[in-house]
Amino acid sequence: MTRSRRLEGLFAPVLTPFRDDLSPDAGRFAGHCRRLLDDGCNGLVLFGTTGEANSLAADERIALLEAVVAAGIDPARLLVGTGLCALPETVRLTAHATGLGCAGVLMLPPFFYKGMSDDGLYRAYAEVIERVGDDRLRVYLYHIPKVSGVAVTFGLIERLVASYEAAVVGIKDSSGDWDNTRGLLERFPEFTVFPGNEMDMLEALRRGAAGCITATANINAAGLRRLYDNWRTADAEALQDAASSVRRAAQTQPMIPGLKEVVARVSGDAGWLNVRPPFVGLSEAQSGELFASLEEAGFIHFRAAA
Amino acid sequence: MTRSRRLEGLFAPVLTPFRDDLSPDAGRFAGHCRRLLDDGCNGLVLFGTTGEANSLAADERIALLEAVVAAGIDPARLLVGTGLCALPETVRLTAHATGLGCAGVLMLPPFFYKGMSDDGLYRAYAEVIERVGDDRLRVYLYHIPKVSGVAVTFGLIERLVASYEAAVVGIKDSSGDWDNTRGLLERFPEFTVFPGNEMDMLEALRRGAAGCITATANINAAGLRRLYDNWRTADAEALQDAASSVRRAAQTQPMIPGLKEVVARVSGDAGWLNVRPPFVGLSEAQSGELFASLEEAGFIHFRAAA
């Protein structure tokens, strides 16, 4: 087997819109996907942490993915989150996304039980890969230990790559720990490494990162794409500083409801405000503080639309 | 609405057996349920942490529960784990178990996202209760923060009971933190509190606990039931000591694969050894150490059968 072409660039982990009854809104979702690509994203992650994916039923993920592909979004630009706690559901979602021609899947380890051994986590990934049994499968491991509570260690990656080199091709590192990202880039130079936020994007690109997958691409795709396209130029540091400022501003309030506030404001569509539990929407005060922080950070996209 | 009769006694969170292909084995499951009731359990928890529930697909839980009820196990003796990360799936499982006449559901909070507010967790539980909309629903909250990463706080309980007094009736406290269990018993005297292990069972019963839900009931139901039945007698301390010794011995190895080793040995059915990832079975050395520890703890059930 040969490796498929390496994925590269700016990826947005797409926010998932809900109707007032909290059902997923496939039309708004596909529209947002289209806008993000138009605004500069090289690709999209459907059903990541930012997308409230674990608040979605497996059937809901399948219906949303099919709606996005039916709406004309190229599946070759999609990474699809498929890692659940239950083996059969992870297999089902992974086979579905792979069968649709998606570029790859972003796979959490099973995340209910904590303190599991690398043996157990290896077994979890291996069972999925074997059961899906599709040469097109490309797995990007999802390391987000502060949320999932389960780390994807270097030792686990080594074992997976040794067994499934053609299938296990990359990782999203959402540790927020630069030492971990740098370590991945050094130890796995053939691996496709996406830092999970843009705070160290420039430094990561200089060391061989494939790009960046970051929540704020939902609101700042153009700025982040400029940084990605110009990281070798003299403008790079200034573009990194601008992107980091927006990120810091976005982080002043709970991130997912906050990003939805911004998308609602920019699009003029208040339907974007809905979040599934365990999230709650921002209070009016929180919302005001968020927009003030973004203004102060010089967030052009918002200012132009407001 | 009136409260239904309070659940009481010794409950086993039932181990889930898997065939060699890792599919759930409904026949072995129902047989184990029957044996546990015969051995002294007052009731059973299906699909708890010990039951590898979060490694099961929702459809698998539904099929297993229906098989157990079809096999003649009284649903009035069943508490059913139904708390998933995704609202629609939690609603579906909760409505199903309630519709079958089960005594109650044991409901984890949505557990992927960490650091959620009590507002958000209240909203999660409230949405499920409202959507199920069944007067028969009895919710037992599931507090197991070391595994789930999401605590059920006293403040959350207060708010839920204030809104849904008839539905939210109890809690399994698997914090392993005696101060938390004692605090629950003091602050919520009307609540049905089940400590999640037997180490402080006697003390908890003296302070008004409803009983105990403990993993080791899968192997030591008779001993634990004796303690429960005799907690007011002069034998209580000795029975507590004996139960605690078995618990400590069982904890010397990873608990879930370890308990399956014991059930396999006692029943002479090696099929019980299968675990789903992210677990792995015990090594021969671990298994030997476990049985030696149990022998040393005077674990009669095992010694009689070995």
Of the residues A85, A91, A156, the best mutation for testing chain B's interface (the one with the most B CB atoms within 10 Å of its CB) is A85
Per-residue pLDDT at A2 exceeds 60: no
Q: Which residue has the tokens 């292909």?
A: B21
Tens-place pLDDT, residues A24-71: 999 999 999 999 999 999 999 999 999 999 999 999 999 999 999 999
Name the token pair of A162: 């040794």
ipTM comes to: 0.96
Whether residue A195 has a cis bond before it, omega within 30° of 0:
no
What is the pLDDT of chain B when averaged over all its residues?
Answer: 96
CB contact under 8 A, A120 and B88: no
Q: Using 50, 70 and 90 to split pLDDT, how confident is the model at B6?
A: confident
Chain B CA closest to residue A118: B278
3-state class of A219 per DSSP?
helix
Lowest mean pLDDT among A74-88, A271-285, A290-304: A290-304
Residue A304's pLDDT is 47
Work out the average pLDDT over B233-258: 97
* Chain A, window 234-263: residues with a beta carbon less than 8 angstroms from a chain B beta carbon: none
Q: How far is A143 from chain B (nearest CA, A)?
A: 13
The chain-wide mean pLDDT, for chain A, equals 96
Count of residues for chain A? Answer: 306
**Per-residue CA distances from A304 to A267, A295, A299 (Å):** 12, 11, 9
pTM of the model: 0.96
Sheet holding A168-173, edge to edge: A192-195, A168-173, A139-143, A104-107, A78-81, A43-46, A9-13, A211-213
Summarised one tens digit per residue, pLDDT across range A122-174 is 999 999 999 999 999 999 999 999 999 999 999 999 999 999 999 999 999 99
Q: What is the pLDDT of residue A299?
A: 86
Q: Mark yes or no for CB contact B120/A278 under 8 Å.
A: yes
pLDDT, residue B299, reads 86
Residues of A (95-114) whose Cβ lies below 8 Å from B: 109-114
A257 with A281: CB under 8 angstroms? yes
pLDDT at B305: 46
Burial A197-230 (b: 16+ CB within 10 A, else e): bbbbbbbbbeeebbbbbbbbbbbbbebbbbbbee
pLDDT in tens, B11-42: 999 999 999 999 999 999 999 999 999 999 99
Q: What is the pLDDT of residues A231-247, one digit of tens each?
A: 999 999 999 999 999 99
- Cα separation, B258 vs B264, in Å, equals 10
- pLDDT tens readout for residues A170-225: 999 999 999 999 999 999 999 999 999 999 999 999 999 999 999 999 999 999 99
Measured between beta carbons, which residues in chain A are less than 8 angstroms from residue B92? 57
Nearest CA of chain A to the CA of B90: how many Å?
9
Is some CB atom of chain B closer than 8 A to the CB atom of A123? yes
A86 contacts B60? CB cut-off 8 A? yes
The answer to whether residue B269 scores a pLDDT higher than 70 is: yes
Q: Which CATH class is domain B9-232?
A: alpha beta
Q: How, if at all, do strands A43-46 and A139-143 pair? A: unpaired
A3 pLDDT band (50/70/90 cuts)?
very low
% of chain B beyond a pLDDT of 70 = 96
Which residue type is seen at B6? R
Nearest Cβ partner for A280 among B58, B123, B280:
B123
Q: How many helices (H) and strands (E) does chain B have?
A: 13, 8
CB A182 within 8 A of CB A205: no
Give B25→chain A minimum CA distance, Å.
Answer: 15
Residue A213 three-state SS: strand
So what's the architecture of A9-231 in CATH? Alpha-Beta Barrel (3.20)
What is the model's pLDDT at position B250?
Answer: 97
For position A300, what pLDDT does the model report? 67
Judged by a CB distance cut-off of 8 A, whether residue A21 touches chain B is: no
A21: pLDDT confidence band, cut at 50, 70 and 90?
Answer: very high
> Is A305's pLDDT higher than 90?
no
Query: What pLDDT score was predicted for residue B302?
Result: 55
The per-residue pLDDT for range B89-107, each reduced to its tens digit, is 999 999 999 999 999 999 9
Which chain B residues contact residue A116 at CB under 8 A?
A: 278-279
| Dihedral of alpha carbons A118, A124, A127, A128, sign | negative
The candidate with the shortest Cα–Cα distance to A68, out of A97, A109, A110, A104, is A97
Delimit the domains of chain B by residue range: 9-232
SS (H, E, C) B17-40: CECCCCCECHHHHHHHHHHHHHHC
